Amino acid sequence: MNISVEQLSKRYWLKDPAPQTFQQALAQMVGVLRRGKPFWALRDVSFAIGEGESVGIIGRNGAGKSTLLRLICNLGRPTSGQARVTGRVAALLELGVGFHPHLSGRENLYVSAVVAGLRRAEVAARYADIVRFAEIETFIDQPLRTYSSGMKMRLAFAVAMHVDPKILIVDEALAVGDAQFQQKCVDRIAEFRSAGVTLLLVSHDMQMVRRFCTRALWLQGGELVADGPAEEVTAAYERVVCPLEAKRTDVEVVHDAVELLESEAKA
């Protein structure tokens, strides 16, 4: 088992707005213990992902996808339940971690590759590959502040693509560089897949999910609505959510989704 999530819940406290008047300030002081309003980003989510599986996580904005990834990646404490991961993880949540504008591309490459989990000797061995992948051979010794944002992203991505993960976690970060570079990233992820790497992909792009994933998890309002074959879940999602008017509430969407999946199961 690579990733196991058991009855995971996460509650955030939404801070009350700063008091505008003396009266409000006094009212807030009297209720000293008020922490704001509770907001459940995740509610009782459970699933397990085995080695080599590729799973897409889909859902509308605010459905809890990023919170789920963060908890799986050991960033923050669950309110209840737990998330466990075994194996070397490469997570494309934030790109360019450890980058410093005044250091050269080469220096930044070394730092961020070690931070991403490689030993120094491993970085040295892969250095040429990473630079070639990022397509910045000519500028590698220039300070990072002279790079365009596209160059920085390519360098960051190239590093992430050379970490040799057991588990790859991608948070809708695949839109980097031109079409050709994107194709390279897609190919690389396909390579990882065939090498048996576990893939966890958050995306709003159903094509992408169908292409890379065999299984999909659908989150809605912090709850796991559906967990099944990627084809079915994404199709259901497209039917329920995409033509969705903003007026509909989470409850209605969940209701429709459950109905749809049940009728499909019967058919």
Partner 1 sequence: MIVARSSGYLWDIVATLVGRELRIRYKGSVLGILWAILSPLGTVVILHILFTKIVPLNIPNYAAFIYSGLLPWTWFQATVQTGAATLLDNRDLVRTPFFPRAMLPAVVTGSNFMLYLLALPVLLLLILMEGIVEIPALLLLPVIWLVQAMFTLACTILVSALGVVIRDVQHLLGVGMLLWFYLTPVFYDLDRIAPDKAQLFLLNPMAVLIQAHRAVTLYGRAPAWPALALWAVLSSLLLAGSLVVFRTLEDAFVEEV
Point out which residues bind partner 1 (CB under 8 A).
Answer: 73-77, 82-84, 89, 91, 93-94, 96-98, 100, 102-103, 107, 110-111, 114-117, 119-120, 169
Query: Is residue 66 within 8 Å of 42, Cβ to Cβ?
Result: no
Tell me the closest approach of the beta carbon of residue 94 to partner 1, in angstroms.
6
As given in the structure block, the two tokens for residue 148 are 């365009």
Rounded to an integer, what distance in angstroms lies between the CA atom of residue 229 and that of residue 55? 9
The smaller minimum CB distance to partner 1, of residues 120 and 204, is found at: 120
CA distances to 49, 67, 159, 197 from 165, rounded to whole Å, are 15, 21, 12, 7
Q: At what angle do helices 120-134 and 105-115 cross, to 10 degrees?
A: 120
Using DSSP, how many helices (H) and how many strands (E) does the chain show? 9, 9
As measured in angstroms, the least distance from the Cβ of 44 to partner 1 is: 19
> Cα(124)–Cα(157) distance, rounded to whole angstroms?
17
The distance of closest approach from Cβ of residue 42 to partner 1 in the complex, given in angstroms and rounded to an integer, is 14
Query: In this complex, which beta carbon is closest to partner 1, that of residue 50 or of residue 76?
Result: 76
Provide CB contacts within 8 A for 96, sequence distance 6+.
Answer: 112, 152, 153, 155, 156
Minimum separation from the CB atom of position 81 to partner 1 (A): 13
Choose between 38 and 229: whose C-beta lies nearer to partner 1: 38
Which C-beta is closer to partner 1: that of 89 or that of 261? 89
Name the percent of the chain in helix, strand, coil, to the closest 5: 40, 25, 35
In angstroms, give the least distance from the CB of 66 to partner 1.
Answer: 12
Nearer to partner 1, 176 or 236 (CB): 176
Q: What minimum distance in Å lies between the beta carbon of 171 and partner 1? A: 11
Closest CB to partner 1 among residues 77, 266: 77
